[in-house]
Structure 1
Amino acid sequence: MSKLSHPRPEGVAPGNGYSHVVTGPGQWVAIAGQVALDADGNFVGVGDPAVQAQQVFANLDACLKAAGATFADVVKLNFFVTDIAYLPPIRTARDAYVDTTNPPASTAVQVSALFSPDALLEVEAYAVI
């Protein structure tokens, strides 16, 4: 069971699909930005943000497991997307992994480019276990 807390700050509008504040005791885990690369380093879902988001969250899940963590331990997700219109399919992929009643804090930023033109999104995660 997670020991994370999701306080609701007074005077701040509720987040739509994210928490403004997440706290908890434990060990800090930082997961580097993940893109839609498979285990062999090949892009998955070139041109398809939904397929890329599924691969990104599978990669995040594998990274969290390697650290002894799960998505229940994630306190913050940072999304970097080449088109903000990709957020709906990204949220669908996220919601398959994240507790939507107490979601992590999040930031979404549209960027002009990522390290490869095949990458449509990159997501980094922070967890406390």
Structure 2
Amino acid sequence: MVTHTRIRAFNTKDAYPEQKLDNDVCMAVRAGNTVYLRGQTMMDLDGKLVGIGDPAAQADNAMRCAEILLKEAGSELSHIVKIVIYITDRAYREPVYQTIGRWLKGVYPVSTGIIVNGLAKPEYMMEIDIIAEIPA
């Protein structure tokens, strides 16, 4: 019995050919009415890097991709209940949070922010992890 739906399955060797990876993952999982998104970054849904050197542009791309993935899962941005934002430099906090804030105006998710030493690709300045709950 299938308990969840996988959306946009892929293998990490395709997304990160420069790394020696071979993991089967997906962009989103819907389990019941809960949607879990893979961390969204500057990489668009076609694998192109958007916004090199620009944390606000990276955040905008991440949210654009999140909106598309949520729709594919039968959800929307207003269903977001939790976000975790990772940035690689405290100086990126303001442009990243301002951009995400515009996308989530009036949504009021719980939010955690973490400063990290690095992300999956050296060009990544930010990443956002999202959980949404579709109303019954």
Question: Percent of aligned positions with the same letter in both sequences?
Answer: 34
Equivalent position amino acid for 2:47 in 1: G
Among 84, 87, 97, the alignment partner of 1:81 is 87
8 A Cα contact 1:30 1:127, kept in partner: yes
Question: Counterpart in 2 of 1:112?
Answer: 117
Q: Which runs of 5+ in 1 are unaligned?
A: 1-25
Among 70, 93, 96, the alignment partner of 1:90 is 96
8 A Cα contact 2:44 2:62, kept in partner: no
Equivalent position amino acid for 1:108 in 2: G
Using the TM superposition, name which of 51-60 and 39-48 deviates more. Answer: 39-48
Q: Give RMSD over aligned pairs.
A: 1.4
1:121 and 1:54 map into 2 onto residues whose CA distance is: 11
Q: Which runs of 5+ in 2 are unaligned?
A: 1-31
Runs of at least 4 residues off by over 4 Å: none
TM-score of the aligned structures, taking structure 2 as reference length: 0.71
User: What's the CA shift for 1:96?
Assistant: 2.2
TM-score of the aligned structures, taking structure 1 as reference length: 0.74
Alignment size in residue pairs: 103
